[in-house]
A and B are shown apart, each in its own frame.
Chain A
Amino acid sequence: MTYKLQFAELLPYWDVLLQGLIFTIVLTLVSTFTGIAVGTAGASLRTFGPKWAGAIVTAYVELIRNTPFIVQLFFIFFGLPAAGVMLSETTAAFLAMTINLGAYSTEIIRAGIQAVPKGHIEAGVSLAMTKWEVLRHIILNQAFRKIYPALSSQIIIVMLGSAVVSQVSAQDLTYAANFVASRNFRNFEVYLLAALAYLLLAMLARSLLRGFGRILFKAAN
């Protein structure tokens, strides 16, 4: 191999790459919360809601889980404006991430809800708890405890999947890497650096989520 890797040429662009990294982190953080909110609502509707609502949720989950994220993103960013909904690339990225994680977390949370013993729900009802109190304090509380690891890995998968939002020019880490590559033609160096940044981010997220889970679910364990 006669080619010499030249990482020094990336230095002038450190601010671009850092901004991209921050965008990726913010994108992941925000869509984690919105996605899990959608998932919680979806799972509750599917388990306790009316039949028609459950059917809609099922269709949503299956549709999202069986199509690539990039197609969902393109549909939202290019397809929806044709139907009269104009979105900026950043909004489209957030929306696509939320919808995607929402579908996966619906399935995960539903599994957790089904694992809650029926006797607990009956016990709650017999203590004169309202429907909402039972859902909040008995069902979801236990469900989240059970599915926390699965949800954590899904969050990391979605974070890695977020690299695709660069394709609608949302300015994440991959977009920044593309930008730098187009400036100095050090394609391999910049993508290697970005890949390592993603790797570190994934490892960091994993340990943070684990630590967070330990604090969150400390009480009864």
Chain B
Amino acid sequence: MLQFSFWDILSNLLIATQWTIILSLIAFVCGGVVGLILLFMRVSGIKPLEWFTKGYIEFFQGTPLLMQLFLFFFGIALFGVEVSPWMAATLALTFWTSAFLTEIWRGCVESISKGQWEASTSLAMTYIEQMRYVILPQASRIAVAPTVGFSVQVVKGTALASIIGFVELTKAGTMLNNATFKPFLVYSLVALIYFCLCYPLSWGAKKLEGRLNVAR
């Protein structure tokens, strides 16, 4: 019978950790891109676009991420497309992340004083130009800390992808537990690895927050 030593368990978990990291990065980057597009729609002042983004955010913030994963996993299949857990997880996490990032960034954009909008309007700038050259450069400074803070939620969110069968850290932990019957050890290690991934991000977010407050 195959025996698992402590190092076998740890090395297997670490191999799976790279998928947690890859999934987190993809979700965060794609979510950021989608979130930016939604942000442009959200603060555009065009009512239908604003309603759409409001509804979008309400849905993705008001339902469990697990449900969203299930909906993508089983929903896309209805169109006759073969859905891998990988694709469903990427899509669900991207949309979920984008909803939260849009809402965070909207707060930052709205904290920019109205005079900035008026001044740039009086310079005959278009909406895109206003955002690009005047509003976003100022808003992004405020946005850095909460955005980094939210990245922790993304990393933790990827753990749910294990439920639809995507093999990342949590799923690897479950599989190793089934093979070794050492749940205490395995889940302690899994938690420890997540902690090592997330704590630097939390710490960074806190530091950035502090620096921003000094600058004011």
Contact = CB atoms under 8 A, between A and B. Distances in A.
Q: Do A and B come from one complex?
A: yes
Interface of A: 1-3, 62-63, 65-72, 74-75, 78-83, 160-164, 166-167, 174, 177, 187-188, 191-192, 194-196, 198-199, 202-203
Summarize B's interface: helix, strand, loop or mixed.
Answer: helix
A177 B163 CA distance: 14
Contacts of B62: 160, 198-199, 202-203
B138 interface: no
Interface stretch (B71-79, B104-112, B119-127): B71-79
19 contacts: A3-B78, A62-B195, A65-B152, A66-B152, A66-B156, A67-B198, A68-B194, A71-B187, A74-B190, A75-B191, A78-B183, A163-B65, A164-B163, A166-B66, A174-B64, A198-B67, A199-B62, A203-B58, A203-B62
B4 interface: no
Contact of B80 (A2, A67, A160): A2
B58 A199 contact: yes
B67 A70 contact: no
Nearest to A185: B74
Contacts of A163: 64-67
B64 A160 contact: yes
Interface centre among A166, A188, A202 (most CB of B within 10 A): A188
A70 B78 contact: no
B54 to A, nearest CB: 13
B11 interface: no
A69 B78 CA distance: 30
Interface string B171-192: 0011001000011101110110
Contact of B59 (A3, A80, A199): A199
Contacts of A80: 184
A101 B69 CA distance: 23
A39 to B, nearest CB: 18
Given A66-B195, A174-B66, A198-B67, A74 B187 contact: yes
Nearest to B177: A78
Given A66-B195, A188-B74, 11 more contacts: A67-B195, A71-B191, A79-B186, A83-B184, A160-B63, A164-B66, A188-B75, A188-B77, A191-B70, A194-B67, A198-B63
B199 interface: yes
Given A67-B194, A70-B159, A1 B187 contact: no
Contacts of B198: 65-67
Interface of B: 58-59, 62-68, 70-71, 74-75, 77-80, 152, 156-157, 159-160, 162-163, 170, 173-174, 177, 182-184, 186-188, 190-191, 194-195, 198-199, 202
Interface centre among B64, B68, B74, B190 (most CB of A within 10 A): B64
Contact of B170 (A68, A174, A203): A68
Interface centre among A67, A75, A188, A198 (most CB of B within 10 A): A67
Contacts of A192: 71, 75
Contacts of B159: 68-71
Contacts of B75: 188, 192
Contacts of B65: 160, 163
B160 A78 contact: no
B189 to A, nearest CB: 10
B74 A195 contact: no
Given A82-B184, A198-B63, A199-B58, A191 B191 contact: no
A66 B202 contact: yes
B180 to A, nearest CB: 11
Contact of B70 (A63, A69, A79, A187): A187
Contacts of A203: 58, 62
Interface centre among A3, A68, A166, A188 (most CB of B within 10 A): A68
B162 A191 contact: no
Given A70-B170, A71-B170, A163-B67, A79 B194 contact: no
A70 B69 CA distance: 15
Nearest to A194: B67
